[in-house]
Chains A and B, each alone.
Chain A
Amino acid sequence: MNLSMTFDDWAVMDFFISMLIVGIGIALLATGLFTSYFGAGKSQKIGFGLLFSGVAILVIVYALTFEAGLGVADQFNEKEFKQALVSGIAALAGMMTGMFVILFVLMKVDTVDDLEDLDLEDLEDLDLDEELKKLEEELNGADSDEPAGKEKAQEEEE
């Protein structure tokens, strides 16, 4: 595998710049699609603007790379552009696969291991009726803290 560290070997224009512009175009296209579909009013108009910008950018990149019959001089090498596109898509697909594998393994592994530290004897000793009474008393105490005027008004209403 060729991994050159010499800057002269790097085809920055054909690989980096072309993919940078394609990335911007695809991001604008995707966000424009969502915004124009789900947005309303002003947001929808912005979505259409983004969608149009994304399509325009992708068409321009296409015209700058391939013979589109528009009389535009090619700026990107056709073969290297295809290589760059394949590289970007393959790397993204690889990353997504890796993420899926990680999520799958993490979900399969029982990560709740703090239960061993939990003292279940404390739970067994709990008297639920007693706890309920305490809660009721606390609630009654909270109700009695309310201003007397309100209580009277409620009684009169009843």
Chain B
Amino acid sequence: MDAEYADIAVIMGITGAMLSMLGMGLLIAYYGSSKTRNVGFLFLIIGLGLGYYLATSGSDTVELHNSLLAFVGGMLGGILGIIAFLVAIIKS
């Protein structure tokens, strides 16, 4: 694999993990109780740590804005595809 692609894969992999940690951490920290809430705060801290790592280090060759654009585009496309499937099934 090209070094550039490897950089992109690593950076975007960490970004994805950070997003899920922050999202789930927020939900768990808000709705959880006692022990579960503490775990939620731990996830939040891990997510923030990953974000700090991404902000301070990482290859300059990776254009994160474009990579995020691709990720958002892919997710949106997937959602639109599923909506098309649901429309086709429900209308039949």
Contact = CB atoms under 8 A, between A and B. Distances in A.
A89 to B, nearest CB: 8
A83 interface: yes
A46 interface: yes
Interface stretch (A104-112, A129-137, A144-152): A104-112
B49 interface: no
Interface in B63-79: 63-79
B86 to A, nearest CB: 9
Nearest to A2: B63
A22 B87 CA distance: 19
B12 to A, nearest CB: 4
B74 to A, nearest CB: 4
Contacts of B77: 19-27
A1 interface: yes
Given A19-B77, A21-B77, A23-B73, A113 B12 contact: no
A86 interface: yes
A108 to B, nearest CB: 10
Given A11-B69, A19-B74, A102-B24, A94 B81 contact: no
A17 B65 contact: no
A95 B16 contact: yes
A87 B36 contact: no
Contacts of B54: 1
B74 A22 contact: yes
B18 to A, nearest CB: 8
B67 A43 contact: no
24 contacts: A1-B54, A1-B55, A1-B58, A1-B59, A2-B65, A9-B63, A16-B70, A18-B73, A19-B77, A20-B74, A35-B89, A54-B81, A83-B4, A84-B73, A85-B70, A87-B12, A87-B71, A88-B73, A91-B13, A91-B15, A97-B13, A98-B21, A101-B17, A102-B20
Given A9-B63, A105-B39, 16 more contacts: A1-B62, A2-B63, A5-B65, A10-B69, A23-B78, A23-B81, A31-B85, A50-B88, A86-B9, A88-B73, A91-B13, A91-B67, A92-B71, A94-B14, A98-B16, A110-B35
Interface of A: 1-5, 9-12, 14-28, 31-32, 35, 42-43, 46, 49-50, 54, 80, 82-99, 101-102, 105-106, 109-111, 113
